[in-house]
Amino acid sequence: MTGTSTRPLGATGADVTALTLGTSALGRTERVDDDTAAQVLASALDAGLTVDTSNEYGGGNSEVRVGRAWAERPGTASLLATKVDPLPGGPFDAERVRTSIAESRERLGMDHLAVVSLHDPERISFEDAVAPDGPWRALLELREQGVVGAVGVAGGPVGLLRRFVATGEAQYVVTHNRWTLLDRSAGALLDDCAERGLGVFNAAPFGGGLLAKAPGTPGATYAYREAPPALLEAAAAMAAACERHGTDLATAALVFSLREPRVTSTIAGVTRVEQWERALAQAGADLTDELFAELEEHLPGPENWLLARES
């Protein structure tokens, strides 16, 4: 498998690449300057990679940078996915969704947005989200009007995402941190999507940091918080196993997601061109079933998964 290989995003009619460039960090001007962001985006677009962004990333700066790079490459084979978001502290309702879409269209320089997610619906209740004046209904109406193409939901809590899948209206989901070498919380969600023929983007295959760093690195995090001892111990054991098999933990973590048949595309975020080039090389690594069987022996118990905190 390579990061540039394509597959259909469920029944949406859109094709996505196995590896998708995540641009959350690329929108943060305090971390990434304009030139560096442009280089990363140029590299991904020239390779035809799917690109994932959001209305709120970098206060909108991610979409601005993506739109600028897109405009410089007319006819690119890449697919763009974005998300609707509320303003910080503001309501997440139908009106805000329509405004969010208008903002994204302007920043990206696109009249039609091919793939759009309702982002982090855990910020409101499911009932409010699917109400007649809620954000989900507004997004579906925009799909009916042809303003957007495929519509999905991107968020954290697995139980909530499964409720959106059960409506029969979502065409794909984006899950993060819940299908990694260390956490299998999204298993039932992936089953739901496979049964319904929905596409799945699996984001944060490195768990937000822990699986991308050498064991013992100070400040290692998992899912945007300090990693608990059970995950630190498991990551160290997995890293040792990877070394015995001639690879490293980060490569195994990425290939783990890429080799999962229920996952359509894996979203990896980077801040430098060399990181992106490394991810593409990792995606093509030929790792054995024996390695993954050994890694499975070190999987922490379900009580350490994110699902246990959400139940």
Average pLDDT over residues 207-211: 91
Report the alpha-carbon distance of residue 25 to residue 207 in Å, rounded.
15
pLDDT one-digit tens code per residue, 72-119? 998 888 999 999 999 999 999 999 999 999 999 999 999 999 999 999
pLDDT at residue 282 in the model: 96
Whether 221 shows a pLDDT value over 80: the answer reads: yes
Residue range 237-247, pLDDT digits in tens: 999 999 999 99
Share of the chain above pLDDT 70, in %: 99
**pLDDT surpassing 80 at residue 217:** no
Q: Which residue has the higher pLDDT, 241 or 219?
A: 241
Read off the pLDDT of residues 21-36 as tens digits, 9 standing for 90 and up: 999 999 999 999 999 9
pLDDT at 222: 94
Half-sphere exposure of 1 (CA within 13 A, CB side): 22
Amino acid symbol at 247: T
Q: What is the pLDDT of residue 2?
A: 84
pLDDT band at 214 (very low <50, low <70, confident <90, very high): confident
* DSSP characters over the chain: --TT-EEE-TTSS-EEESEEEE-TGGG-TTTS-HHHHHHHHHHHHHTT-EEE--TTGGGGHHHHHHHHHHHTSTT----EEEEE-PPTTS--SHHHHHHHHHHHHHHHT-SSEEEEEEE-GGGS-HHHHHSTTSHHHHHHHHHHTTSEEEEEEEES-HHHHHHHHHTT--SEEEEESSSSSS--TTHHHHHHHHHHT-EEEEE-TTGGGGGGS-TT-TT-EETTEEPPHHHHHHHHHHHHHHHHTTS-HHHHHHHHHHT-TT-SEEEEE-SSHHHHHHHHHHHT----HHHHHHHHTTPPPGGGSHHHHH-
Average pLDDT over residues 139-156: 98
Residue length of the chain = 311
Grade residue 1 by pLDDT with cuts at 50, 70 and 90.
low
- Assess whether pLDDT exceeds 90 at residue 220: no
CB 231, CB 238: distance < 8 Å: no
Predicted model pTM: 0.97
Residue range 216-241: mean pLDDT, rounded: 90
pLDDT value at 275 more than 70: yes
